[in-house]
Structure 1
């Protein structure tokens, strides 16, 4: 993973709420590549700023932040992104489903 040297690995801000996202309570969005808060177990506490589901077509877990899920639903994007965005970005914004269809 490419990281910004000025930001410690465990202090990346959540792309949805902007609060620090600890490594054990975050995931990265398959669509925008940004970190977001995600409770990885049912017993953990904390915010959920995205969702995870099983994609039946590509047989994989898909992780998406609330910003990208809202954009897919036709809602406007948030006005201001976090002050320190991650250095790594998705190259084309395509979904895993689009990539799988193109390979066929």
Structure 2
């Protein structure tokens, strides 16, 4: 039996739904909690290593952060991080982690 897989497109779709006010922060977090289980689900199967790492970081952050800390106006930073090429990985990770959430 093969493991379920979360694709980059599925994750970006959820982020866009939230960013465009189709779902709220709690619903986004619920999706992350329901789907993010690296022991049970493959994350980004077939994607380059840095994309898989970016997806894991994004899903983990939205799973564990308090929803009132989410900065919806900066949701695009998460998408940019997931879509970045390897040369922009560190830069986009920093922007997402520093500006994607309130302190």
Please state which band the TM-score falls in when normalised by the shorter chain. Answer: under 0.3
Q: Normalized against structure 1, the TM-score is what? A: 0.24
Q: Normalized against structure 2, the TM-score is what? A: 0.25
- Larger Rg belongs to: 1
- Greater share of residues in strand: 1
